[in-house]
Structure 1
Amino acid sequence: ALKQLSVVDSLSKNVALLKCSLERIINNRSREDGCCPLDWKLFGSSCYFFSASTLSWNKSRDWCESHQSHLIILTNDKEWDFVTHQTIPELFWVGLSDGRTGRWEWVNQNPYTIDRRRWVPGQPNSWTGHGLGPGDEDCAHLHRSGRLNDAHCSKPMRYICQKHSLRP
């Protein structure tokens, strides 16, 4: 069974590289543009996976890590626009939490300074009346408006994973 899994993994990588080469030809892109695995979207030098299924924030983080990626870290306005164009009007977990230290930080432990224009008005509010067990709202997600909101980490939502693009 382990050998079959290895063969399937190898075939998947080959299909992804062929897909990459074909997309490069169709879109007249250079080799430097990079490529993404099947079902991932390329933007800049990163690949993004927008899930259709829902998981808690912790399980979303784990899923991303098991696919050699991480929950998304939003770094600039162009990336923000690309991502929110894919997500509105759904809810998606991002890689931002204040659960570890009480201060907002990305999953790579880089600190996050709150930018009010990126949050739903009145958020984050660490609301405790959610009825989802102990604790307040320690995890951030993209709201239907494309702005951030804090929510209880156990709430199932879609999620966005991010990783560097492939260079075949």
Structure 2
Amino acid sequence: THISLLMQRTYQFRALPQFHNSHTEQASVLVLPCWMCCPMGWRFFQKSCYYTSTDSMSWNESKENCTGMGSHLVVIDTEAEQVKKTQYVRKDNYYIGLSAQKVGQWHWVDQTPFNVTAVFWRTGEPSNVEEEKCVVIHWKEKKHWNWNDFRCEVHSPRICEAAAITV
């Protein structure tokens, strides 16, 4: 696997052994610079790497494809992440890691709790019909992106997410 070094510097804090004396107890912390890395062709954001596909698959095939790359379909739980993910997509529907086994009971592929206050549904969605148990980021005019429940067997591109590698 090729790894590209991103220009994203973070800092790791590592505790040094504690030194004791008879009057005080003292602990030191060493601050080390480190770099966050993503595979070639992936984009970095907030300690994660994101891949936006150019080919299309069903939701289950998309899930398996992401897993095969050591990642999962993207989990979006903040507005900042929603905005960032949509900067690199074209006019299309992109599968994300949200689905329902039973109508209206949404869950994320990585078991992140589904937060009903951090959702970005399109007006009138989810429609919560039996045929639409998967979710896409859906493009609407004027570059506005939101979520739409969708038929899982429809072939669409996907967005995968993996933890960035710290070096």
| TM-score, length-scaled by structure 2 | 0.75
- 1:123 and 1:101 map into 2 onto residues whose CA distance is 13
- Asked if the contact 1:33–1:45 (Cα under 8 Å) also holds between the matched residues in 2, the reply is no
Report the CA distance between 1:89 and its aligned residue. 2.4
Query: Which structure: larger Rg?
Result: 2
Paired positions, count: 141
Partner of 1:59: 61
The aligned runs of 1:34-45 (5 Å cut-off) are 34-45=36-47
Two-structure CA RMSD over aligned residues (Å): 2.2
Q: Alpha carbons of 1:144 and 1:109: their partners in 2 closer, same or farther (altered >3 Å)?
A: same
Partner of 2:151: 152
Partner of 2:120: 118
Q: Alpha carbons of 1:114 and 1:89: their partners in 2 closer, same or farther (altered >3 Å)?
A: farther
Report the CA distance between 1:56 and its aligned residue. 0.4
- Asked if the contact 1:90–1:144 (Cα under 8 Å) also holds between the matched residues in 2, the reply is yes
- Asked if the contact 2:94–2:137 (Cα under 8 Å) also holds between the matched residues in 1, the reply is yes
Partner of 1:141: 136
The aligned runs of 1:76-115 (5 Å cut-off) are 76-99=78-101, 103-115=105-117
Percent sequence identity over aligned pairs: 28
Could you list the per-position Cα deviations for residues 79-128 of structure 1 after superposition, in whole angstroms to 9, with x for gaps in the alignment?
Answer: 1110012225221000000126851010123342435971111111134x
- 2:34 and 2:81 map into 1 onto residues whose CA distance is 19
- 1:161 and 1:74 map into 2 onto residues whose CA distance is 11
Code of the residue aligned with 2:163 in structure 1: it is: H
- 1:76 and 1:90 map into 2 onto residues whose CA distance is 21
Tell me which protein shows more helix as a share of its residues: 1
Unpaired runs of 5+ residues, structure 1, are 1-11, 128-134
